[in-house]
Amino acid sequence: MSLPPSNTSLTYSSPSATPHLTYTPLKPLTPNQLIIKVFAAAVNPCDIQLWHSPLVGLGRFGREGTMGWDYSGTIAAVGDKLKGEWEVGDEVFGMCEGPAAQGTFTKYLIVSDKAPIARKPKGWTFEEAASVPLVTLTAFACLDRLPPLKPTVAHRRVVVAGASGGTGMWCVQLAKKVYNCHVLAICSGRNAEFVRGLGADDIIDYTTSNVPQALLNHRPKGLKFDLYIDCVGGTEMFGNWKEIIHKEGAYITIVGDKTSRTVPGPPLTYFTYPSQIFRHMWSWISGPRYAAVILYNESKYLEQVADLAEKGEVGAVVQEVIEGILDEGKEKQAWERANALLEEGRIRGKVVLKIQD
């Protein structure tokens, strides 16, 4: 596969500045790197959170900020050490290495062997595959906090708040298919059928119910929950959480006490909301455990999801594909659409940017 002399990316020059196209020479490949020709890239709330963050801006020392975490595409070049493991033309999906790495809103992405990557399931389109990495790596980080199954019960009981969103929909699917849990999902009535279709056993409609009270009512014979996964944020639950989750269980949040969609989440919220530190430390002593977590950064979880997808056990859900993000003259409108959807917070599943054919 021949590589172009110049690469096109979406970047921004200072926090919250309108993103624009930049054209830069492709860097030479090192032995432990791959070049991916990117076809699709999902958008995530962290794209706008990092874009707005002055703190992240400081760390760039005047360099352009890059954007995007998730991608799918084909391998366009393989570093010497990775030959045999990967070949030019392999169809893959994965995530960039972190906020300091090259972002995935780019035509050619360089990733090292440390970045999570897996072969794309045959049944998934590139758009579907791009929608998966960040949110499934986050879902696994949450579900990993499940306490061991007690011999006296058939299933562990999990609550997923925000079950119709990007991470929540994977928490529901993986809790059912990998961990064989009973899943109580919190979502709006308009998304109830969608979330049931993912496998949820019960639903609480947060738009018509008092959620803490509804959870208290969902304890057959007083049986408490093993794990509460919070994909929404806020502190609404903490008045009752010890009545809802048992002592060896856990309340895991991927958002923290904040409710704003445009400021960064964990681990930063431990500094911006010191009550989280106190809750975290006290939970070691008294239980249930509390933690604000970030995603796992390992390929093995993407391989597991790809395997489940090949067997037809889990599915990707793309609400919308936005075109034009790297097309001169169309990039502003495409970004405005993505930004509006991320700020609004009503996405069912994921929204994906088409990068190139």
Ligand X SMILES: NC(=O)c1ccc[n+]([C@@H]2O[C@H](COP(=O)([O-])OP(=O)(O)OC[C@H]3O[C@@H](n4cnc5c(N)ncnc54)[C@H](OP(=O)(O)O)[C@@H]3O)[C@@H](O)[C@H]2O)c1
Binding site for ligand X (CB under 6 A): 44-46, 134-135, 138, 161-162, 164-168, 186-188, 190-191, 206, 231-233, 254-255, 261, 265-266, 294-295, 345-348
Q: Helices 133-143 and 299-310, interaxial angle, to 10°?
A: 100
CB of 301 to ligand X, least distance (A): 13
Only one residue has tokens 């002055």, namely 54
Which among 43, 14, 166, 35 is positioned nearest to 102, based on CA atoms? 35
**8 Å CB contact between 34 and 82:** yes
CB of 6 to ligand X, least distance (A): 32
Which CB sits closer to ligand X, 78 or 342?
Answer: 342
Residues 143 and 209: their CA atoms lie apart, in Å, by 25
**8 Å CB contact between 225 and 158:** yes
Which CB sits closer to ligand X, 92 or 295?
Answer: 295
CB of 339 to ligand X, least distance (A): 13
Residues 134 and 298: their CA atoms lie apart, in Å, by 11
Which CB sits closer to ligand X, 71 or 108?
Answer: 71
CB of 52 to ligand X, least distance (A): 12
CB of 30 to ligand X, least distance (A): 28
CB of 44 to ligand X, least distance (A): 6
Residues 292 and 276: their CA atoms lie apart, in Å, by 8
CB of 7 to ligand X, least distance (A): 27
CB of 230 to ligand X, least distance (A): 9
Burial of 287 (0-12, 13-18, 19+ CB in 10 A): middle
Which CB sits closer to ligand X, 9 or 191?
Answer: 191
Q: Strand pairing of 108-112 and 33-42?
A: antiparallel
Q: Which amino acid is at 49?
A: Q
Residues 133 and 22: their CA atoms lie apart, in Å, by 25
Which CB sits closer to ligand X, 187 or 245?
Answer: 187
Which CB sits closer to ligand X, 274 or 345?
Answer: 345
CB of 253 to ligand X, least distance (A): 8
- For residue 150, the 8-state DSSP code is P
Residues 289 and 280: their CA atoms lie apart, in Å, by 7
Residues 220 and 254: their CA atoms lie apart, in Å, by 28
Which CB sits closer to ligand X, 51 or 206?
Answer: 206
Q: Which residue is nearest to ligand X (CB)?
A: 165
| Phi, psi values for residue 340, rounded to 5° | -65, -45
> C-alpha 261: how far from its chain's center?
14
Which CB sits closer to ligand X, 4 or 345?
Answer: 345
**8 Å CB contact between 299 and 117:** yes
Which CB sits closer to ligand X, 29 or 321?
Answer: 321
> Token pair of 257, please?
């006490």
Which CB sits closer to ligand X, 46 or 132?
Answer: 46
CB of 147 to ligand X, least distance (A): 21
Q: Strand pairing of 108-112 and 70-78?
A: unpaired
